[in-house]
C-alpha cells in the first residue's frame, strides 16, 4: 500500500491512480487557482476585495488543521500534517483550494463573513457529511467548495455569484481564447493522467449539450441559446474543478457516466422550474444521492452479514456415510 509518508521515488511506478499522481493533481489545481486569483485581482478584473481570498484561506486553514488535530487526538494517531515537511505542505492544498474557490465565485459586496462562512462550511462538511466506502472506511460525499458556496447562496439571498465577465474582463484580442484554452486543455490532461475522472468530465459535457438541445426543442428556442453557460469561465471552473473531485465521485467508469448524466438531468429540471444557481444545486443533490446510495449499500451489506447461514446437510450425510463404513469394517 502506498501512503503519503513514502518518498516519491517509491510511488512513481504504481498505477495511475497512485498517491503520487493524486498529489500532483492536487498541487496543479492549487497552483492554478492561486495564480488565477492573484492575476484576477491584479489584472483580470476580479471585483472582490483583496481581503476576501485572504480571510477565506485563513478560515479554511485554521479549521482544516484544527479538525485534523482533534481527530488525531481522539483516535490516538499522528496528524497527517506531522512528521515531515512534505506531509505539512501536502496538507495545505485541501484548505487552499476551497478557500480560494469560495472567495472567487461568490460576491458578498464589502462583507467578509459570508466568504468565511462558505470556506468554513466547506472544510467542516468533510467531517459532518460522510458515507462508508468499504473496508471500514468513510469518505466525505460533497465537493467542499461547491457545498459551501451553495449553502451561502441559499441562506443569504443578498449574496450573489461573481459576475461571469470579471474572470477575463481586462483581456483583449487573442488572450480571450488563449487563457480559457490553456485552463481547459491542462485540466483535461490532468484528469486524464492523474485523477481518472476524464470520463466523468466528458460525460457531463455531452449530457449538458443533450439536455440543452432537448429543452431548445421542447420550448422552441434557438439551439445555441441554452448552450451559452458553457462560454463562461465559471462553467469551466465548475466542470474541471468541482464536478470531478476524486474524493467525492465514483472511480468506475459506468458510475462516472451515471454521475455526470444525473447532474445534467437535475440541472435541466431546476432550469425548467426557474430555480437559480442550478449548476451548484445540481451537483449538491447528485452528491447527496450518491451518499444515500453508499449508505443503503452499506446497510444491505450489514444485513446480509448478520443473516444466519443456511444449514448444509450434504457434508453431514457424507461424514455419516464415512463413519458408518468405518464401523462396519
Contact 237, 105 (CB under 8 A): yes
Whole-angstrom CA distances from 142 to 41, 99, 105, 303, 317 are 28, 15, 17, 26, 54
Interstrand relation of 130-134 and 106-107 (parallel, antiparallel or unpaired): unpaired
Instruction: Round to whole Å and give the CA distance between 194 and 27.
Output: 11
Predicted confidence at residue 5, as pLDDT, reads 37
Which stretches in the chain have pLDDT values below 70? 1-18, 309-329
pTM of the model: 0.84
Q: Which one, of 213, 197, 310, lies nearest residue 250 by Cα?
A: 197
Q: Which one, of 218, 274, 264, 217, lies nearest residue 238 by Cα?
A: 264
Contact 148, 118 (CB under 8 A): yes
Predicted confidence at residue 134, as pLDDT, reads 79
Side-chain-side CA neighbours of residue 60 (13 Å) = 30
Q: Which cell numbers in the block locate residue 124? A: 467542516
Cβ of 102: how many Cβ atoms within 10 Å?
31
Q: Which cell numbers in the block locate residue 173? A: 484580442
Burial (CB count <10 Å: 0-12, 13-18, 19+), residue 1: exposed
Predicted confidence at residue 326, as pLDDT, reads 41
Predicted confidence at residue 241, as pLDDT, reads 84
Nearest 5°: CA angle at 190, between 189 and 193? 85
Domain ranges for the chain: 8-170+186-306
Which residues, 6 or more positions from 305, have their beta carbon under 8 angstroms from its beta carbon? none
Q: What is the pLDDT of residues 276-290, one digit of tens each?
A: 999 999 999 999 999
Side-chain-side CA neighbours of residue 129 (13 Å) = 20
Predicted confidence at residue 313, as pLDDT, reads 53
Which residues, 6 or more positions from 316, have their beta carbon under 8 angstroms from its beta carbon? none
Nearest 5°: CA angle at 78, between 75 and 81? 125
- Cα Rg of the chain (Å, integer): 24
Predicted confidence at residue 11, as pLDDT, reads 31
Amino acid at each position: 500500500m502506498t501512503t503519503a509518508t513514502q518518498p516519491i521515488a517509491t510511488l512513481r511506478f504504481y498505477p495511475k491512480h497512485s498517491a503520487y499522481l493524486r498529489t500532483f493533481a492536487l498541487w496543479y489545481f492549487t497552483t492554478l487557482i492561486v495564480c488565477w486569483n492573484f492575476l484576477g485581482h491584479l489584472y483580470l478584473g476580479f471585483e472582490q476585495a483583496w481581503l476576501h481570498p485572504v480571510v477565506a484561506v485563513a478560515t479554511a486553514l485554521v479549521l482544516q488543521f484544527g479538525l485534523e488535530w482533534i481527530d488525531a487526538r481522539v483516535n490516538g494517531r499522528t496528524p497527517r500534517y506531522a512528521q515531515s515537511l512534505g506531509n505539512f505542505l501536502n496538507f495545505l492544498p485541501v484548505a487552499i483550494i476551497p478557500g480560494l474557490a469560495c472567495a472567487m465565485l461568490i460576491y458578498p459586496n464589502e462583507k467578509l463573513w459570508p466568504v468565511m462562512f462558505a470556506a468554513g462550511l466547506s472544510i467542516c462538511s468533510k467531517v459532518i457529511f460522510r458515507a462508508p466506502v468499504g473496508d471500514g472506511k468513510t469518505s466525505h460525499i460533497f465537493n467542499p467548495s461547491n457545498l459551501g458556496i451553495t449553502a451561502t447562496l441559499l441562506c443569504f439571498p443578498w449574496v450573489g455569484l461573481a459576475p461571469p465577465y470579471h474572470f477575463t474582463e481586462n483581456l483583449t484580442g487573442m488572450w480571450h481564447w488563449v487563457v480559457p484554452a490553456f485552463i481547459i486543455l491542462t485540466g483535461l490532461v490532468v484528469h486524464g493522467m492523474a485523477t481518472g475522472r476524464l470520463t466523468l468530465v466528458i460525460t457531463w459535457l455531452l449530457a449538458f449539450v443533450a439536455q440543452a438541445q432537448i429543452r431548445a426543442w421542447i420550448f422552441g428556442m434557438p439551439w445555441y441559446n441554452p448552450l451559452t453557460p458553457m462560454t463562461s469561465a465559471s462553467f469551466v471552473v465548475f466542470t474541471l474543478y468541482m464536478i470531478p473531485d476524486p474524493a467525492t465521485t465514483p472511480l468506475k467508469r459506468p458510475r462516472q457516466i451515471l454521475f455526470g448524466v444525473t447532474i445534467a438531468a437535475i440541472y435541466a429540471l431546476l432550469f425548467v422550474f426557474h430555480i437559480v444557481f442550478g449548476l451548484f444545486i445540481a451537483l449538491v443533490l447528485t452528491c447527496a444521492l450518491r451518499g444515500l446510495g453508499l449508505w443503503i449499500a452499506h446497510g444491505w451489506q450489514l444485513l446480509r452479514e448478520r443473516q444466519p447461514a443456511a444449514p448444509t446437510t450434504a457434508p453431514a450425510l457424507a461424514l455419516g456415510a464415512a463413519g458408518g463404513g468405518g464401523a462396519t469394517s
